[in-house]
A and B are shown apart, each in its own frame.
Chain A
Amino acid sequence: MKHGILISDHEKAGGGGARRRTANTNANSEVAATRSTPAAALADANGTAPAPGGPKWTARRRRVVANLTGWSFAAPATLIILGLTLFPAAWAFLISREHWNGIAPARQIGWDNYRLMAQDPDFRSAVNHTVLFTVLYVPVVLVLGMFLAIALNRKIRFIAFYRTALFVPLVVSAAATGILANFVFDQQFGLANNLLRVLHLPRQGFLADRHEVMWVIALIYLWTDLAFSVIVYLAALQDIPTDCLEAARIDGANRWQQFRHVILPSLAPVTVFVGVWETISVLQIFELILTTTHGGPLGASQTIVYFIYNQAFNLSRYGYGSAAAYTLFGATLIITLGLFAYARRSKIEAF
């Protein structure tokens, strides 16, 4: 078998070599003859010496070399990324169908974790907090982000200061933000209650009050996160051709009409993008909860990802935690695709 392949290869190579030789003689003998054999003309024009194996062998070798080169560029990044995303994603699904505390052997329990979850009041309240937070927060950040971007998109005095002041919280980590928030909203010494006292308003519990806690967390999150949507909107505003606005002005559009009919439509794709982005990140809010309230008081600020973290790393219920993680993943995916579908139907080219 091996011999057979070798022989046939050799024959092919020989055949190719023979063809090449004839072509060369033709090319050497007469110019007219060269024109009649395109292969030789090509070989000469490229000025490359044909490989000893012949054209077919060379083509195959070239493809192998191209594949090797391509993959040696692409493989390191590709393998690491897939190894850190697809692989654990698949594994998480397997874990979600197990009863497992990380030490004792796992027990296969099918969909029991998911069934249990549907009846778990803690999980349900975590879902409620997260969904309510998302529904209230995302529209606010979209409107505020667009409004502030329009405000910052002009040449006025102090504009550099305004931009710096509004953007700087973006580089402050969730951990530092949480600790700072604990100080600012401290019931006795905090800046927030101090301001209320100066204004002769009643003192508030803030992070310690179960009815106020999610609102305060939304406010803190807005502080760290608003700059992102402002920056994205600002970049989009600067892409609007000035001709369009000028044309609208010449046609007699007032400020509001310019905004409504020129600016707003051209911001639609960015709005879809920022909306999806904010939805995904708010559905996963976790680090701020961990550094401020630990889900308290009395579970009033427990979000889905904090629930997952707590089940897995405090209670060692890895299977149950994974089931919750997968549920959130599925929900996120459906919401994201839904928003994209909505955008497509409204003829907004988001991406």
Chain B
Amino acid sequence: MMRRYSFSRWHLLLMPLSLVFLLPLVQMLLASFTSNADINRFPPRFFPSALHISGYVRLFRDAPVARWMLNSAIVSGIAIVSHLILCSLGGYAYARLSFRGRTVAFVTLVATIMIPTQMLMIPTYFMFSHLGLIDTLGAAFVPFLTSAFGVFLMRQFFLSLPKDLEEAGRIDGLTTFGVFFRIVLPLARPALATLAVFTLLNSWNDLLWPLIAINDPSKFTIQLGIINFQGAHHIDWQELMACNVVATAPLIIGFLVAQRQFVQTMSMSGLKG
């Protein structure tokens, strides 16, 4: 019988590696509170001589960061709500309902997972332009309204549910919609949580769609915002790192609070394909 917490040789690998992985993030946080004079000193020091919040003050004065954060929150919010509704509806249809063209539609849907989004940027740009989405937040959230992976995930979940409850609901006189909203959806909470985290990660961190479609600074998402900010303030490291901290803090905090859910989501994306 192994004693719990006896010294393991794995520590010799894991401890240094963990510190190396954390180091850039720690330095980002420290640098955002370090004056530029300190950052530019030679030889450089890891810990600042004094902490300053001037970087954050300058950041919020120089750029509409609050606006960008709000834009990103709107985009992610719409993406999550729409994902939850459309993917669970679609997933239920492909798991339980029988209708004409179901198999063809589902196979086509799953096959589209193979089409990489980066390769569609040119036609998508013109599509957005025809739909009047250029320079609107729509360009950022329309690509995240739903996803084949989400539909697939929900379908797999619904297939794993026992059919008895739904049949009982039908005998009690519920329609298909009634069964779905009153019986199935409340049971799907774990899958919906996974889907929500998946959508949050993808939509919050996306740079591609805003990059090609949004030029108006008041419509920037935070990711596009920090890229443009870097272009304009490439010497002011303190301000840049402050900007980076603001942009990454929401997801890092979310990850620290709900790590289990995040990790589970990532391993579920292992289903993709």
Contacts and interface: CB of A to CB of B under 8 A. Distances in A.
Q: Do A and B share a complex?
A: yes
Interface of A: 66-67, 69-71, 73-74, 76-78, 80-82, 84-89, 91-92, 95, 102, 148, 151-152, 154-158, 161-176, 178-184, 186, 188-189, 191, 194, 197, 223, 227-228, 231-232, 234-235, 270, 273, 276-277, 280, 284, 286-287, 290-291, 305, 308-309, 312-313, 318, 321-322, 325-326, 328-329, 332-333, 336, 351
Interface stretch (B56-64, B141-149, B188-196): B141-149
Contacts of B212: 313
A189 B43 CA distance: 8
Given A162-B18, A166-B18, A329-B115, A171 B262 contact: yes
A238 to B, nearest CB: 9
Contact of B148 (A81, A188, A197): A81
A290 B231 CA distance: 12
Nearest to B90: A77
B54 interface: no
Contact of B116 (A70, A76, A227, A284): A284
15 contacts: A69-B99, A69-B176, A71-B93, A86-B115, A95-B123, A148-B17, A167-B262, A168-B22, A172-B252, A175-B247, A180-B244, A194-B43, A232-B267, A305-B119, A325-B122
Contacts of A321: 122
A66 B39 contact: no
B50 interface: no
Contact of A70 (B10, B42, B98, B120): B98
Interface in B151-179: 151, 176-177
Interface in B244-273: 244, 247-248, 251-252, 254-256, 259, 262-263, 266-267, 269-270, 272-273
A77 B87 contact: yes
A318 to B, nearest CB: 5
A176 B226 contact: yes
Contact of B266 (A91, A173, A182, A227): A227
A64 to B, nearest CB: 10
A77 B10 contact: no
Contacts of A88: 120, 123-124, 127
Contacts of A228: 266, 269
Given A189-B39, A277-B273, A322-B122, A151 B13 contact: yes
A170 B255 CA distance: 9
B208 interface: yes
B90 A273 contact: no
A166 to B, nearest CB: 5
Given A77-B151, A165-B18, A179 B244 contact: yes
B123 A183 contact: no
Contacts of A325: 118-122
B254 A183 contact: no
Contacts of B46: 191, 194
Task: Please list the 4 inter-chain residue pairs (A to B) with the smallest Cβ-Cβ separation, ordered nearest first.
Answer: A70-B99, A77-B90, A73-B93, A165-B18
Given A84-B143, A92-B120, A162-B18, A78 B114 contact: no
Chain A CB within 10 A, most for which of B8, B123, B226? B123
A155 to B, nearest CB: 7
Given A174-B205, A180-B28, A325-B119, A273 B270 contact: yes
